[in-house]
Structure 1
Amino acid sequence: MTDTVSDNGALCLATLRDTDRDRYLACLMSPEDKRGALAALYAFNAEIARVRDVVREPLPGEIRLQWWRDLLEGTAEGDTGGNPIAAGLLKAVERYRLPRQTLIAMTEARIFDLYDDPIPDRNALEGYAGETASALIQLASLVLSHDDAAQSAQAAGHAGVAQAIAGILLLLPIHTHRRQLFVPLDILSATGLDRDTFLAGEDKARIGAAIEALAGLGLEHLEKARRAGPVSATVFPAFLPATLANPVLFRARKLGAGALDASLQQPQWRRQLRMVRAAFLRRL
């Protein structure tokens, strides 16, 4: 049993190295005995986050997400032995008493990714981020320390929203290319835009204002996460990926409409160095 769990963790970690390098590095900076469970959790997140990228139509994507829901509800058909991510996730849920409903809500939130419906307002965006990025930080915190996780729940909530917004800004070129938009409609309306005019990409001044407003919202949540109080050293590794949001948000706010064409992502070595520094200082 122990060897199987260890093997699943190693396979999840190897998979994560290819699907989410930043969280892979965060795993390596976590206690060794927690890495397998964290890798399974993060690999699961990577799987459901990339469904839109591996299907051509929404229905096959919904079927993939439904399989994960069935797995978590205990109604999935077949043996999970051939799927190390699924097996590792279930072991992590059992061992660390992770709330299944939170994981199910993560899969349901990702249904939104499969369609091109707009996000109506900031509250809806914050809700989406809360069920995805914020929930993932909190779940990872539970793996690291069940006792300390509750104390950092507020920080996890705000840090996750900041991280999700940074991710949206990073993916702006891809999203606009496929006519998908995560900038809330109330932000577009406030800058004199609607969905179609933003996606047309011609009104650079107003598009820049919308991007700056979205980046500002992310920075606002990052500041709220910092003000939520110190995060315990035992659970801080769960926050390491979120420490990469700050430079993305600042660069997007500076570039404005230029974020549609320029990369907001720092080189891998700089992201790694930033996480190491954050781990040492325990600062978002």
Structure 2
Amino acid sequence: MTGIVEQPERDLALSYAPVAGRPGLAALLALDDALALLLRTTREPAVGQMRLAWWREALEKLDRAPAPAEPVLRAIEAEVLPRGVTGASLVPIVHGWEVLIEEEVLDADAIRRFGEGRGHLFVAAGSLLGAKGDPLAAAGQGWAIADLGRNLDAEDERATARDLAVPLLAKATGTRWSRAGRALGAMAHLARMDLAEAPKAAGAPGRVGRLLWHRLTGR
């Protein structure tokens, strides 16, 4: 369904986060990776819905009970909850992924709902990192939809995803990010560069240079 950002580039983006918040941001991204893997390895929609329901319930329970013996949930318990982000506030991320199971055809409304749900990861991460005044919702939605679009098979669905992601990422990358939020801003820049008509390969000097400029200036 969707891919994972090339790890070296994502590691570079993570290095822009405040040191104290990096483990929490890594835990949130691990949650997103786990949900992506769930969808890639589930063929039956009913089974996928059951597995996603387990994640929803498990995240909500983190607010009132110890985490089960599951590495991602343990990391969220240790690194995310102590920084003021509740388990219940992460449930919209699961709802976003659920759209891909519920809808046989991904029209603009479905893709938008996916982006709003999965993109909530940036809102939660911004709270965790102490980001102030950054376009977290637009960045998260654009990042989520751009990643989805790159991994869709149907040409019309890819085009719809691109049309939705471009203005969101233009908004997200057209402003100066706070120091605390620059890891997320860097991920938005990566997503925008992925949407270029002739995107450069991951790790290309031009991409890395753009991220370094963002780290220095917030733009």
User: TM-score category by the smaller chain?
Assistant: 0.7 to 0.9
- Is residue 2:34 matched to residue 1:87? no
Q: Contact 1:161–1:218 at 8 Å: present in 2 too?
A: yes
State the percentage of identical aligned residues: 22
- Is residue 2:171 matched to residue 1:171? no
Aligned to 1:266: 201
In 1, distance between residues paired with 2:117 and 2:110?
11
Choose the corresponding residue for 2:99, options 99, 112, 118.
Answer: 112
Aligned to 2:25: 38
AA of the residue aligned to 2:59: L
Cα displacement string for residues 238-257 of structure 1 (whole angstroms, at most 9, x for unaligned residues): 22211112222222xx7xxx
- Is residue 2:9 matched to residue 1:63? no
- Where do 5+ consecutive residues of structure 1 fail to align? 1-17, 184-209, 255-263
| Secondary structure at the counterpart of residue 179 of structure 2 | coil
Summarize the alignment of residues 193-232 of structure 1 with structure 2, pairs less than 5 Å apart: 211=159, 214-227=161-174, 229-232=175-178
- Is residue 2:218 matched to residue 1:282? yes
- Where do 5+ consecutive residues of structure 2 fail to align? none
Which one has more relative contact order, counting CA pairs under 8 Å at least 6 apart?
2
AA of the residue aligned to 2:11: Y
Q: TM-score, normalised by structure 2?
A: 0.80
Aligned to 2:12: 25
Cα displacement string for residues 224-270 of structure 1 (whole angstroms, at most 9, x for unaligned residues): 2345x53211222222211112222222xx7xxxxxxxxx5722344
Offset, 1:48 = 0.8
- Is residue 2:68 matched to residue 1:132? no
Offset, 1:65 = 1.6
Offset, 1:39 = 1.0
Q: Contact 2:17–2:181 at 8 Å: present in 1 too?
A: no
In 1, distance between residues paired with 2:11 and 2:50?
27
Offset, 1:140 = 1.3
AA of the residue aligned to 1:247: M
Give the structure with the larger helix fraction.
Answer: 1
Query: Alpha carbons of 1:105 and 1:248: their partners in 2 closer, same or farther (altered >3 Å)?
Result: same
In 2, distance between residues paired with 1:182 and 1:49?
22
In 1, distance between residues paired with 2:38 and 2:178?
34
Q: Contact 1:23–1:42 at 8 Å: present in 2 too?
A: no
In 2, distance between residues paired with 1:63 and 1:282?
41
- Root mean square deviation, CA, Å: 3.1
Q: Contact 1:163–1:242 at 8 Å: present in 2 too?
A: yes
Cα displacement string for residues 56-93 of structure 1 (whole angstroms, at most 9, x for unaligned residues): 22233223222221212218xx9746422111112334
In 2, distance between residues paired with 1:20 and 1:102?
27
Q: Contact 2:172–2:188 at 8 Å: present in 1 too?
A: no
Offset, 1:136 = 1.3
Q: TM-score, normalised by structure 1?
A: 0.64
Aligned to 2:137: 157
Choose the corresponding residue for 1:234, options 174, 177, 180.
Answer: 180
AA of the residue aligned to 2:214: A
In 1, distance between residues paired with 2:51 and 2:181?
31
Query: Alpha carbons of 1:249 and 1:25: their partners in 2 closer, same or farther (altered >3 Å)?
Result: same
| Secondary structure at the counterpart of residue 267 of structure 1 | coil
Q: Contact 1:119–1:182 at 8 Å: present in 2 too?
A: no
Aligned to 1:142: 127
In 1, distance between residues paired with 2:39 and 2:95?
13
AA of the residue aligned to 1:171: N
In 1, distance between residues paired with 2:92 and 2:46?
18
Query: Alpha carbons of 1:161 and 1:105: their partners in 2 closer, same or farther (altered >3 Å)?
Result: closer
